[in-house]
C-alpha cells in the first residue's frame, strides 16, 4: 500500500481550496492520541463540531480527514458526506448509512473491530463520521496476518464480512493501530440483500469456527438489534444479515471460495 496521500484544505474568499500533500515527503497531518473508549468516542463524535483538514486521495468516494473540535479529547475523524458519493448501479445512494450500520453490527456481535461511527451533519452536509485510527498506512492485512497474536481479530473481521456481505475487503482496509489493535475500515459496500462477498481474507477457509466465535454469532442471531437499524437498512437487507449469520452457525466453518473469484480489485 502506498503512503497515504491527502489534499490539505485552506480557505480563500470563503471557498474550500485543496492542495496536494504526500506523507512520504512532508509532515503528516495525522495526529496520534491517547486511547479512548468507544462509548466516550461516540459521545464526542456526536456532540462536537468538525473542521476539514484535507481530502484522502486514494478513496473512490469523497473522504475527508477532519479535526474533532473538543477541548478534552484530541480526536480526528474520517468524514464521508453523502454529496461525495459516486452513484453505483448495484447500491442505492447513502453508502454512509452502511458505514454506521457496520459499526452497530460489529458492536452487536461483541467484536470491537470497526471504529466508532456516527451520523454527522458536517461542512459538506450529512454523512458518516468515524473515529480516525492513528496507524502506519504501509501496514495492511498481509503484514498483520504474519503475527499470530492478531489472528483472532482477523477471524472476527472475516466472519463479520460474511455477515455484513462486504463486497470490498481490501488488504488496506485492515489497519493496525498505533496501540496494537486491529481495525476494519471502509465498510460502505456492505449489506446488499444479494450475496456479493469479495474479500482478501480466505486464510481460514473451511476451518472450524471456534466455540467462542460461534457463541457470539448465536447470541447475535437471536438479538433483535436489527430492528434498531430500520433507518439505515431495508427490511430485506436486515433479514439477509440474520440468514448469513445462521449459515455460519449451521456450517460451523469459515467461508470458502470454491470459485476463486471472490477477491476485490485491487487486493490492496
How does pLDDT run across 154-186, given as a tens digit for each residue? 999 999 999 999 999 999 999 999 999 999 999
Q: What is the largest CA-CA distance in the chain?
A: 61
Indicate if the pLDDT at residue 263 is higher than 60: yes
CB distance 165 to 197 below 8 Å = yes
Distance from C-alpha of 14 to C-alpha of 29, rounded to nearest angstrom: 22
Q: Are strands 5-12 and 49-56 parallel, antiparallel or unpaired?
A: antiparallel
Indicate if the pLDDT at residue 3 is higher than 60: no
Indicate if the pLDDT at residue 5 is higher than 70: no
Could you report the per-residue pLDDT of 183-211, keeping only the tens digit for each? Answer: 999 999 999 999 999 999 999 999 999 99
For the record, the C-alpha cell of 7 comes out as 489534499
Tell me, what's the pLDDT at 9? Answer: 52
Backbone angles phi, psi at 80, to 5 degrees: -120, 95
- Measured from the Cβ of residue 241, the count of other Cβ atoms closer than 10 Å reads 24
- Higher pLDDT: 2 or 94? It is 94
- Measured from the Cβ of residue 125, the count of other Cβ atoms closer than 10 Å reads 11
- Higher pLDDT: 130 or 14? It is 130
Tell me, what's the pLDDT at 17? Answer: 38
The reported pTM is 0.91
Tell me, what's the pLDDT at 20? Answer: 47
Question: 222 exposed, middle or buried (CB, 10 Å; 0-12, 13-18, 19+)?
Answer: exposed
Distance from C-alpha of 169 to C-alpha of 183, rounded to nearest angstrom: 12
Residue 226: which pLDDT band, with cuts at 50, 70 and 90? confident
Q: What is the DSSP string of 85-130?
A: PPP-SSS-S-HHHHHHHHHHHHHHHT-TTS--EEEEEETTEEEEEE
Distance from C-alpha of 203 to C-alpha of 212, rounded to nearest angstrom: 19
Tell me, what's the pLDDT at 225? Answer: 78
Mean pLDDT score across all residues of the chain? 91
Residue 257: which pLDDT band, with cuts at 50, 70 and 90? very high
Tell me, what's the pLDDT at 10? Answer: 45
Tell me, what's the pLDDT at 19? Answer: 43
Return the half-sphere exposure (C-beta side, CA atoms, 13 A cut-off) of residue 131: 31
Could you report the per-residue pLDDT of 80-113, keeping only the tens digit for each? Answer: 999 999 999 999 999 999 999 999 999 999 999 9
Indicate if the pLDDT at residue 250 is higher than 90: yes
Peptide bond into 165 cis (omega under 30): no
Residue 231 has what DSSP assignment? Answer: T
The lowest-confidence range among 27-31, 32-36, 49-53, 230-234 is: 27-31
Helix (H, G, I), strand (E, B) or coil at 9: strand
% of the chain with per-residue pLDDT over 90:
85
Q: Quick one: which of 185, 165, 203 has its CA closest to 113? A: 185
Q: What is the DSSP string of 50-97?
A: EEEEEEETT-SS--EEEEEE-SS---EEEEEEGGGPPP-SSS-S-HHH
Does the CA dihedral 133-134-137-139 come out positive or negative?
Answer: negative
Amino acid at each position: 500500500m502506498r503512503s497515504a496521500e491527502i489534499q490539505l484544505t485552506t480557505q480563500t474568499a470563503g471557498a474550500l481550496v485543496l492542495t496536494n500533500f504526500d506523507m512520504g515527503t512532508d509532515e503528516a497531518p495525522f495526529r496520534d492520541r491517547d486511547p479512548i473508549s468507544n462509548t466516550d468516542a461516540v459521545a464526542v463524535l456526536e456532540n462536537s463540531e468538525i473542521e476539514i483538514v484535507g481530502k484522502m486521495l486514494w478513496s473512490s468516494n469523497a473522504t475527508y480527514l477532519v479535526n474533532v473540535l473538543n477541548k478534552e479529547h484530541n480526536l480526528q475523524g474520517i468524514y464521508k458526506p453523502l454529496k461525495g458519493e459516486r452513484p453505483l448501479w448495484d447500491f442505492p445512494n447513502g453508502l454512509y448509512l452502511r458505514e454506521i450500520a457496520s459499526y452497530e453490527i460489529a458492536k452487536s456481535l461483541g467484536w470491537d473491530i470497526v471504529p466508532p461511527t456516527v451520523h454527522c451533519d458536517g461542512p459538506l452536509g450529512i454523512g458518516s463520521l468515524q473515529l480516525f485510527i492513528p496507524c502506519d498506512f504501509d501496514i495492511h492485512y498481509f503484514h498483520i496476518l504474519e503475527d499470530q497474536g492478531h489472528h483472532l481479530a482477523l477471524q472476527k473481521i472475516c466472519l463479520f464480512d460474511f455477515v455484513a456481505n462486504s463486497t470490498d475487503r481490501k488488504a488496506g482496509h485492515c489497519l493496525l493501530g498505533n496501540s496494537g489493535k486491529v481495525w476494519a475500515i471502509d465498510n460502505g459496500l456492505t449489506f446488499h440483500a444479494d450475496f456479493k462477498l469479495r474479500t482478501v481474507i480466505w486464510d481460514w477457509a473451511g476451518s472450524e469456527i471456534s466455540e467462542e466465535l460461534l457463541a457470539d454469532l448465536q447470541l447475535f442471531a437471536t438479538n433483535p438489534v436489527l430492528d434498531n437499524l430500520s433507518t439505515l437498512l431495508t427490511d430485506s437487507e436486515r433479514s439477509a444479515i440474520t440468514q448469513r449469520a445462521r449459515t455460519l452457525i449451521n456450517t460451523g466453518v469459515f467461508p470458502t471460495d470454491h470459485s476463486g473469484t471472490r477477491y476485490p480489485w485491487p487486493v490492496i
